[in-house]
């Protein structure tokens, strides 16, 4: 195929720029024309589309956010919206489209694929909550950011003999929480995947304190929330001063890590290889370190396991 487009959609994630760069450069290298579509499906419908050349993606591999901007587009959830998107692609001669985003964005890509545009989804979200892949672009950077911030809180919480309750991102899943918890030596990890008992947590803290433990870091996943209430309850039950900190959107920003840049580049290049072969309606992922691709509907129906073993290891050795 001769002309392709690329867009970023849904929540942004560090490494999206590395993916955009890989798609643009791979396509140009294979003699295709590439269009950058701004603000996801919004730009597709409004015609906010720019032709990309050799220099369009210069100096972005190390930056967070997305140079193509991202947005949510309610209109694209309707049949009329998708038909309008297809018409826009036809008008510009765009035969293939790389969609970097999450499950919602892939649903849109499946609808557009059904209209005859070859769409390839690339998993871009800090939450790592896409079932068909072990890894999503942005996950590693977000975990490293969370880890650095928790380390800083730990310093001050140690000095004051405090409980630090830290809420990390993860709208639907506790993958960031469990990994950050392990990496920061958290005393407790609270995610929606594993039931917890606040009385048991408080009692265990008191037992650990009696044996000399001075600081307690509790990682709470965004999907559980209520971190201020959790801090209040722990303070009330243990008599230890407790503070809640919600890390929030700082975890979405920053320069992507090596892992995010490498995986984004691998997957971006692979997406163009699929399009080159005239293959569409696929989501690209990484399974057991190998690059894979699945039918979009099949990918959306998959279920992702939470690493309960890791969760229990963290708690077992935190004494």
Residues in the site for ligand ADP, rule: CB under 6 A?
9-11, 41, 72-73, 76-77, 101-105, 107-108, 111, 125
What is the rounded distance in angstroms from the CA atom of residue 296 to the CA atom of residue 113? 9
Residue 243 Cβ vs ligand ADP, minimum distance, rounded to whole Å:
31
Listed residue (254, 238, 230) closest to 202, CA to CA: 238
Q: Residues 234, 198: contact at Cβ < 8 Å?
A: yes
* Largest CA-CA distance found in the chain, in angstroms, rounded: 72
Q: Which token pair is 177?
A: 């929480």
Number of H helices, E strands in the chain: 11, 11
Q: Which is nearer to ligand ADP, 124 or 181 (by Cβ)?
A: 124
42 among the known binding-site residues? no
Q: Which is nearer to ligand ADP, 35 or 76 (by Cβ)?
A: 76
Listed residue (50, 28, 115) closest to 76, CA to CA: 115
304 among the known binding-site residues? no
DSSP structure class, residue 70: -
Q: Which is nearer to ligand ADP, 110 or 217 (by Cβ)?
A: 110
Residue 229 Cβ vs ligand ADP, minimum distance, rounded to whole Å:
28
For the chain, give percent helix, strand, coil, nearest 5.
45, 20, 35
H or E segment to which residue 99 belongs: strand 96-101
Residue 232 Cβ vs ligand ADP, minimum distance, rounded to whole Å:
32
- Among 127, 129, 140, 260, the one annotated catalytic: 127
Among this protein's residues, is 161 annotated catalytic? no
203 among the known binding-site residues? no
What is the rounded distance in angstroms from the CA atom of residue 262 to the CA atom of residue 76? 31
Residue 105 Cβ vs ligand ADP, minimum distance, rounded to whole Å:
3
57 among the known binding-site residues? no
Q: Which is nearer to ligand ADP, 77 or 259 (by Cβ)?
A: 77
Q: Residues 118, 95: contact at Cβ < 8 Å?
A: yes
88 among the known binding-site residues? no
Binding-site positions read 11, 21-25, 72-73, 102-105, 125-127, 154, 162, 169-171, 211, 213-215, 222, 243, 249-252
- The annotation places the binding site for ADP at 21-25, 154, 211, 213-215
Binding positions for substrate are 125-127, 162, 169-171, 222, 243, 249-252
Active-site positions read 127
């Amino acid at each position: 195929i001769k002309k392709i487009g690329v867009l970023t959609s849904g929540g942004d994630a560090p490494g999206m720029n590395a993916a955009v760069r890989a798609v643009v450069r791979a396509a140009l290298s294979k003699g295709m024309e590439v269009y950058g579509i701004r603000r996801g499906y919004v730009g597709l419908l409004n015609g906010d589309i720019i032709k990309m050349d050799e220099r369009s993606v210069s100096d972005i591999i190390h930056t967070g956010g997305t140079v193509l901007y991202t947005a949510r587009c309610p209109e694209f959830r309707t049949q009329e919206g998708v038909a309008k998107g297809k018409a826009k692609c036809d008008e510009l001669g765009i035969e293939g489209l790389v969609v970097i985003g999450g499950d919602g964005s892939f649903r849109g890509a499946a609808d557009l694929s059904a209209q005859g545009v070859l769409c390839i989804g690339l998993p871009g979200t800090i939450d790592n909550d896409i079932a068909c892949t072990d890894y999503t672009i942005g996950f590693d950077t977000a975990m490293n950011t969370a880890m650095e911030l928790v380390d800083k809180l730990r310093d001050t919480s140690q000095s004051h003999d405090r409980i630090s309750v830290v809420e990390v991102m993860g709208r639907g899943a506790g993958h960031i929480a469990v990994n950050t918890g392990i990496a920061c030596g958290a005393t407790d990890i609270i995610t929606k995947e594993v039931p917890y008992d606040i009385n048991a947590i408080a009692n265990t803290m008191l037992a650990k304190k009696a044996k000399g433990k001075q600081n307690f870091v509790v990682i709470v996943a965004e999907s559980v929330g209520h971190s201020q209430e959790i801090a209040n309850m722990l303070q009330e039950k243990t008599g230890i001063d407790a503070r809640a900190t919600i890390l929030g959107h700082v975890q979405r920003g920053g320069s992507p890590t090596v892992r995010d840049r490498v995986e984004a580049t691998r997957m971006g290049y692979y997406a163009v290889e699929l399009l080159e072969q005239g293959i569409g309606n696929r989501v690209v992922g990484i399974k057991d370190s190998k690059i894979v691709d699945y039918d979009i509907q099949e990918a959306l129906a998959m279920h992702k396991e939470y690493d309960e073993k890791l969760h229990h290891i963290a708690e077992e050795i935190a004494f």
